[in-house]
């Protein structure tokens, strides 16, 4: 890609065949996008883009294109793994089939190990009491780490990983809490949890649980050239063997399953009610300012706080005709966004999921990542580029 003009080559999957199809030229206005795609290995870029076409009977056809897609290449998925866990919490709840047990039932988390912590109240909830629905809201609105940890503790590794594998999501491993330094063994211990109704009636008691199964990355991935640990610089690559894994294909597939479940075989779908599916979609697309409980200040949680495509880091309001159903992730120099992007005013809808790695000095945990210089502008320009394609293409 040394030519003055960079051509973005994506690939279409049709009838089992894989054929390269060149897109239009990427204009000079997309400076960061051009720079990143000219250095794809450095930035470890993977893009999966799906066009959506509807016939006169509104029947949907998906056409997938990819750039650099490699489900075997490890990257750290950061907060994107919260999305499938949030959905699975509703699937688990439905399976319990206990009278009175709902996503709004009071969920009290206990602690029996030194590194575990308890939750007896939630100051952001309207009644100051934690529940599954409120945790999901916080995950989807602002990617709350503690909310994810509580649902991880509820479900446990066996449930999460077995369920995702059964749905055909075979390049995913979820095996640890976030923002808490725990050994792989400690992460296999799960807190006792108690569900009550508002009158105090016990609906379900879950004891402390532990899994003997060890979910890990068999390719033993190591990233970077150095990393900080407890303030000490370690001059070697960081080991991600016991870290979460979530390929772009699986990430993309989770979003497609929740948006268009009818396009998947029954066993590949999330088995939740239509009401639960609409709840997930509502909070995937909701802007933080639109939420009353939890309440978020617009100065900190502006519209594009977790909407990277097209709007980047702009603090201007996102126009009301745009609805973006997505989940983002940001950690260790990795920046991710998986979205169902819509503009009803102009008849635009498409899926896009991507990963970029911005870590010029190849040192992890030093907070010296090029998110602002490269990462966010990349997503803004990629969103604009794909949106422009969609506006112009014949559907």
Q: What residue spans of the chain are helical by DSSP H? A: 31-37, 40-43, 82-96, 132-142, 145-166, 248-259, 274-285, 376-392
Task: List pLDDT tens digits, range 143-194.
Answer: 999 999 999 999 999 999 999 999 999 999 999 999 999 999 999 999 999 9
Question: CB-based burial of residue 167 (10 Å sphere; 0-12 exposed, 13-18 middle, 19+ buried)?
Answer: buried
How far apart are alpha carbons 107 and 99 in whole angstroms? Answer: 15
Question: CB-based burial of residue 12 (10 Å sphere; 0-12 exposed, 13-18 middle, 19+ buried)?
Answer: middle
When pLDDT is averaged across residues 376-389 and rounded to a whole number, the result is 95
pTM confidence score: 0.94
Q: Report whether 87 contacts 74 (CB < 8 A).
A: no
pLDDT of 30 above 90 = yes
Q: Dig out the tokens for 129 from the structure.
A: 């009491």
Question: pLDDT exceeding 70 applies to what percent of the chain?
Answer: 94
Residue-range domain boundaries for the chain: 1-70+302-395, 73-244+282-297
Q: Dig out the tokens for 293 from the structure.
A: 């409980």
Q: Dig out the tokens for 39 from the structure.
A: 């250095």
Of 53-57, 109-113, 131-135, 265-269, the poorest mean pLDDT is in 53-57
């Amino acid at each position: 890609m040394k030519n003055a003009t960079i051509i973005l080559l994506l690939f279409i999957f049709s009838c089992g065949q894989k054929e390269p199809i060149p897109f239009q030229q990427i204009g000079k206005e997309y400076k960061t996008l051009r720079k990143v795609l000219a250095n794809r290995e450095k930035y470890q870029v993977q893009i999966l883009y799906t066009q959506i076409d509807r016939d006169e009977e509104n029947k949907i056809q998906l056409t997938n294109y990819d750039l650099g897609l490699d489900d075997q290449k490890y990257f750290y998925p950061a907060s994107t793994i919260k999305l499938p866990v949030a959905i699975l919490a509703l699937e688990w709840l439905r399976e319990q089939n206990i009278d009175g047990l709902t996503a709004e039932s009071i969920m009290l988390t206990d602690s029996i190990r030194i590194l575990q912590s308890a939750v007896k109240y939630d100051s952001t909830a309207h009644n100051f009491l934690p529940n599954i629905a409120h945790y999901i809201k916080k995950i989807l609105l602002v990617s709350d780490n503690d909310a994810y940890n509580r649902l991880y503790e509820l479900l446990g590794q066996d449930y999460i990983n077995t369920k995702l594998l059964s749905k055909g999501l075979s390049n995913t491993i979820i095996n640890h809490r976030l923002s808490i330094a725990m050994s792989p063994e400690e992460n296999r211990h799960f807190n006792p949890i108690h569900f009550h109704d508002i009158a105090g009636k016990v609906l379900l008691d879950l004891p402390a649980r532990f899994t003997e199964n060890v979910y890990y990355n068999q390719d033993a991935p190591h990233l970077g050239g150095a990393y900080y640990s407890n303030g000490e610089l370690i001059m070697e690559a960081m080991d991600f063997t016991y870290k979460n894994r979530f390929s772009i294909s699986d990430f993309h597939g989770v979003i497609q399953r929740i948006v268009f479940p009818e396009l998947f075989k029954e066993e590949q779908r999330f088995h939740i009610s239509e009401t639960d599916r609409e709840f997930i979609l509502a909070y995937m697309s909701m802007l933080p300012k639109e939420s009353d409980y939890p309440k978020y200040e617009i100065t900190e949680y502006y519209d594009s706080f977790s909407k990277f495509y097209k709007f980047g880091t702009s603090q201007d309001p996102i126009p009301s005709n745009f609805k973006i159903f997505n989940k983002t992730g940001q950690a260790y120099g990795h920046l991710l966004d998986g979205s169902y992007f819509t503009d009803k005013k102009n008849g635009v809808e498409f899926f896009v999921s991507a990963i970029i790695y911005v870590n010029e000095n190849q040192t992890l945990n030093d907070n010296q990542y090029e998110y602002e210089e490269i990462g966010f502008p990349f997503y803004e320009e990629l969103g604009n580029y794909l949106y422009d394609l969609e506006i112009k293409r014949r559907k």
